[in-house]
Amino acid sequence: MHTAPAAEARPRGGLRGLCTTATLTGGLAELAWVGAHVLMYPLGTWTPELRLDPRRRPGEQPAAVRALFAADPLAARIPVLLVHGLVDNRSVFSVMQRSLRRRGFAHVGTWNYSPFLTDVARGATHLGARIERLCEQTGHDRVHVVGHSLGGLIARYHVQRQRGDRRVASLVTLGTPHRGSILAHAAVTPLIRQLRPGSPVLRELAEPAPECRTRITAIYSDLDQVVLPTASGRCDHPDLGARNVLVHGVGHMTLPRHRRVVDEVAVTLAGHRRAAPQAAAGVTAVA
C-alpha cells in the first residue's frame, strides 16, 4: 500500500482504464465475492447480540496489535458499528468484522436495518437509537461507524443532520454515493429516488454543517459499478474536512472484504489517519 499526491490520485477512465490487469482482476474478484455473498446472505438476516471482548492488557497482545495502537492504546476499546447497504445485511461484513477483531478492536458489532426502509432520515434515526444502545452496552460515550454504500449515507445523515456527531467519533464510508448515482434513475422506489444526484436528501446534506465534529473518511473505487460516476463516492463537503481515499480495481461488493480496504479502515479507526480541514479536497490513492 502506498499513498500518492492529490494531483496524481484520479480515477482511471475510458476503455484504456478498463483493460488493465488490475481492472480485469478486480472484476473477476467482484464476481467471485458476489457469488459468495449470495450464499452467505441468509446467515446475515438476523443481528446477534454484541459479543463483549474483555481484552488483555496491551502488553500481553500480539506485536502487530500493540503497534497499531501504539499512539493511542485506548482506541482499541472504542466500539465499532458496521452498517450495510441497500437490500443487504450484516453478512457483507463477514471478513471485516473478523479482521478488525484480530487487529485488536475489542467491540465490533453490526446492525441490520429494515429491507423495507423508505427514507434515509428515518434510517438515520434508527441508527441513532442503535448507537445509544451500543454505548449503554459497552459503557463508552462514543463509537466508530463504518458504512457500506447506503449505510454510509445513512450514517452521514445522522452525524450531520441529527447531531449524531456527539456519539460518532469517526465515520468511514465504503462505496457510498455521497453525490448520488445515475443508476438510481432506473428505479422508482422512494428510497432509491433519494439516491439520485440532486435529490432533496443530497441537497440537504450539501447544506452548511460548521459544527459537525465527526471525522469522516470516504473510501471509493474506480471500479465501482453501482456508484456512477465513481467520483460520487467522494465526500467533498467544505465543512466536514473529509479525507477521500481512492482504491484502484476494487468492485462495489468487494470493498468491505478487500484486504487493502480493511487495512485502511483499521489504521483510520486507530487514529493514524487524520483529515485536515484545509485538505478536504485532496485525495489519497491506495494502490
H or E segment and range at residue 152: helix 150-161
pLDDT at 46: 59
Q: What letter does residue 75 receive in the DSSP assignment?
A: G
Instruction: Give the single-character DSSP code of 11.
Output: -
Going residue by residue through the chain (287 aa), what tens digit of pLDDT does each one get? 333 333 334 555 554 555 666 666 667 676 765 666 666 666 666 566 666 665 555 456 788 888 899 888 888 999 999 999 998 999 999 999 999 999 999 999 999 999 899 999 999 999 999 999 999 999 999 999 999 999 999 999 999 999 999 999 999 999 999 999 999 999 889 999 999 999 999 999 999 999 999 999 999 999 999 999 999 999 999 999 999 999 999 999 999 999 999 999 999 999 887 654 433 334 566 65
Query: What is the sign of the dihedral through the CA atoms of 254, 110, 246 and 234?
Result: positive
Neighbours of 28 (CB within 10 A): 11
Contact 145, 172 (CB under 8 A): yes
How far is residue 114 CA from its own chain's centroid? 19
Bridge-based pairing of strands 143-148 and 108-111 is unpaired
Q: Which of 134, 143, 169 is nearest to 52 (CA)?
A: 134
Neighbours of 186 (CB within 10 A): 9
Which stretches within the chain are classed as H helix? Answer: 14-18, 21-40, 63-68, 94-102, 120-138, 150-161, 190-193, 200-205, 259-269
Q: Are 84 and 257 in contact (CB under 8 A)?
A: no
> What pLDDT, on the 0 to 100 scale, is given for residue 89?
92
The predicted-structure confidence for 77-120, as pLDDT tens digits, reads as follows: 999 999 999 989 999 999 999 999 999 999 999 999 998 999 99
CA dihedral sign of residues 152, 65, 30, 8: positive
Helices (H) and strands (E) in the chain, counts: 9, 7
Contacts of 16 (CB under 8 A, 6+ apart): none
Compute φ and ψ for 269, nearest 5 degrees.
-70, -25
Helix, strand, coil shares of the chain, percent, nearest 5, are 45, 15, 40
Cβ atoms of 151 and 171 within 8 Å: the answer is: no
Position 262, amino acid: V
The residue type found at 218 is A
Please tell me the distance from the alpha carbon of residue 270 to that of residue 265, in angstroms, as a whole number: 9
Cell numbers that stand for 150 in this block:
447506503
Residue the block writes with cell 486507530: 270
Which CATH fold would you assign to the domain 6-42+64-286?
Rossmann fold (3.40.50)
